[in-house]
Amino acid sequence: MKQKRNIIGNLLSLPAFMLILFVMILPVGYAIYYSLLDCDYMKITGFVGLENYKEFFASDLMMQTLFRTFVLSFCSLIISLLIGLLLALWIHGSKGPFAFALQIVGLIPWVTSMVVAALLWQWILQTDTGLLNYLISRIGLDKIVILNDKRNAFIALTIVMAWRCVGYAMVQILAGLKSIPRDYEEAAEVDGCGKFQVFRYIRMPLLKTPLLLSAIIITLSNFNNLTVPQVLTNGGPGNATRVLSLAMYQEGFQFYRFGFSSTIACIMFVINLLLVISYVKAVKYEV
Amino acid sequence: MRYNTHYEDRKKTIGHHINLGIFVLLCIVNLTPFVWGLITSLKTEREVLQYPPKFLFFTPSLEHYITIFENNFFHSVLVTLGYSACAIVIGVTFGLMAAYAMKRYNFFGKKALFFAILCGIPLSIGSAAMVIPNYVYFSTVGLIDRWYTLVIINMAYHMPMCTWIIMSGIEGIPIEIEESMALDGASKPYIIFRMIPSLCSPSIASAALFIFIGTWNEYVSASVIVNSNAYRPIQVSIYNYLGFFGREWGPLTAAATAAVLPSLIIFAILGKYLISGLTQGAVKG
């Protein structure tokens, strides 16, 4: 059914469109413009072309930060997807209020504020007074330095970020599982498939889209996560947990180098855009 | 036969125990930070740093809560509630209008808008990368440190998701109902703003919940867009306490607990709408 074009549609969708334009599209244009400028303390001192980008890609510090951000996003993605998948497969068998309670509990880290969660994790991970070290010493092991040790701080950050996303992955994958018609699995069982074979040849291929979609969303969320690194470790010790979003924030609001900071924002935006495009491709939606 | 059922029963009980075990483990992993924060916040200052820590038999006290309430905590709560209320009312209205237009009309730029909404869902998840662009742009147009800027930003971040959820709600309403209502003399505004919301109220609730949780938890852009005390939302206040109280974990955990409690309660009550909204976004493809 092809309807005639109607101006009322435009009028009705105008406010939403304006908001998206005003907050999510125009600022990016501005950031691209600023990334070509030499701009300290919000004062534009000159047009430098691609100098900022050259500085970014020539700087070892920035390259390390970029690499670190990728490693962090990837590791926590794998952890949360894997645990989320296992939990989803497990819940799928149980029914009723129990399964619902599990989803609610699982989603709590995703819906609570990252500032609060990171703050409370910091309290648990304190070396001398933290809960974790207390438990470790109770089972007879030596205390470990967590947030003040480069390697351990990075691991802790990875785990906290994974912790946040497990529930989201679980809920998405569970919804995917529910949308698989029961007949397929029954048919496979009648044909003599074991549990693992049902999983491998029936569920896995049909779960590809939900897995991919939640992987993209979680990657986006981790890659752009500024709050958790800032509150948990603030980049320290040294530069061990300084991720790209934190570098962008610090260049801007600590060193007031808005030109360079916009450059980092643009580079992040390009990476985000690649993820968004793959999301749109994966959703396969039609108007 | 009898042996068989007996065996099955035992298998069932073992399975039941394992289920319960995993559930308890999940609760421990997911809730420990909050429970431990709550316990710490109720201790006296001396007991907070006591080692080994006491889990249950400490002297309960509200001193840390009093401390944070003396430090403008309540003001931040009110400010954030105000932001959320504005963002929910205006955001859901705009989302409803856009969703209705997307589902019931054909108009110039429909494809572009659809694409913007679809891209906007993942893009707004990574909205922290927008903090510099937003700051640069809003300071150019002079919207820094205004009471309405955060409302606008939060609304815009959640507009794609909100529209999307309401769109799938409207999809479930047969167009015949609308047609017969129109024949009975219902005006278009009445249909859009009264009838549609009452027919897809779960979607409306879910969209509102998304905006509320997003606004309540928003930290990154709030930390730079407003800088006067009067407009400071709750997450920024908590972050500032981190510098202000330093290592005093009593007030810090008290603030964290007080800030997370409202969203946890609302989530526990309305959680099913959030789950349905989350899964509507993705798994149809």
CATH number at residue A139: 1.10.3720.10
Q: Which residue type, as a one-letter code, is found at position B102?
A: M
Counting DSSP H helices and E strands in chain B, the numbers are: 14, 0
- Tell whether B207 lies on the interface with A, counting CB pairs under 8 A: no
Q: Does the residue A64 lie in any domain?
A: yes
Q: In this predicted structure, what is the pLDDT of residue A169?
A: 92
Q: Does the residue A236 lie in any domain?
A: yes
- Tell whether A272 lies on the interface with B, counting CB pairs under 8 A: yes
Report residue B161 as tokens: 């998701």
ipTM tops the 0.90 cut = no
Distance from the Cα of residue B72 to its chain's centroid: 23
Residue B91 has pLDDT above 90, yes or no: yes
Residue A1 has pLDDT above 50, yes or no: no
The shortest C-alpha distance from A151 to chain B (Å) reads 22
Residue A2 has pLDDT above 60, yes or no: no
Q: What is the mean pLDDT of residues B269-275?
A: 85
Query: Shortest CB distance from B279 goes to which of A10, A24, A171?
Result: A171
Q: What is the DSSP letter of B230?
A: G
**Cα dihedral: B187, B191, B192, B197 (round 10):** 150
Q: What percent of chain B has pLDDT over 70?
A: 94
Query: Shortest CB distance from A111 goes to which of B106, B116, B274?
Result: B274
Label residue B89 exposed, middle or buried (CB < 10 Å: 0-12, 13-18, 19+). Answer: middle
The boundaries of the domain holding residue A203 are: 60-283
Residue B285 has pLDDT above 50, yes or no: no
Q: What percent of chain B has pLDDT over 90?
A: 18
Length of chain A: 287
- Tell whether A41 lies on the interface with B, counting CB pairs under 8 A: no
Query: Shortest CB distance from B129 goes to which of A101, A230, A269?
Result: A269
Q: Count of A–B CB contacts within 8 Å?
A: 304
* Substitution target from B12, B23, B26 for chain A, most A beta carbons within 10 A: B26
- Tell whether B163 lies on the interface with A, counting CB pairs under 8 A: yes
Counting DSSP H helices and E strands in chain A, the numbers are: 15, 2
**Number of domains within chain A:** 1
- B283 pLDDT tier (thresholds 50, 70, 90): very low
Higher pLDDT, B75 or B8: B75
Query: Shortest CB distance from B27 goes to which of A105, A210, A213?
Result: A105
- B166 pLDDT tier (thresholds 50, 70, 90): very high
CATH topology of domain B67-280: MetI-like fold (1.10.3720)
Q: In this predicted structure, what is the pLDDT of residue B3?
A: 52
The shortest C-alpha distance from B239 to chain A (Å) reads 7
Is residue B80 helix, strand or coil?
Answer: helix
Q: In this predicted structure, what is the pLDDT of residue B12?
A: 66
**CB-CB under 8 Å, B109 with A20:** no
Q: In this predicted structure, what is the pLDDT of residue B5?
A: 55
Higher pLDDT, B126 or B235: B235
Query: Shortest CB distance from A10 goes to which of B108, B160, B238?
Result: B108
- B8 pLDDT tier (thresholds 50, 70, 90): low
* Substitution target from B30, B42, B164 for chain A, most A beta carbons within 10 A: B30
Q: In this predicted structure, what is the pLDDT of residue B92?
A: 94
- A128 pLDDT tier (thresholds 50, 70, 90): confident
Q: In this predicted structure, what is the pLDDT of residue A40?
A: 75
CA distance B230 to B8: 64
Is residue A46 helix, strand or coil?
Answer: strand
- B1 pLDDT tier (thresholds 50, 70, 90): very low
Q: In this predicted structure, what is the pLDDT of residue A286?
A: 59
Is residue A219 within 8 Å of residue A275, measured between CB atoms? yes
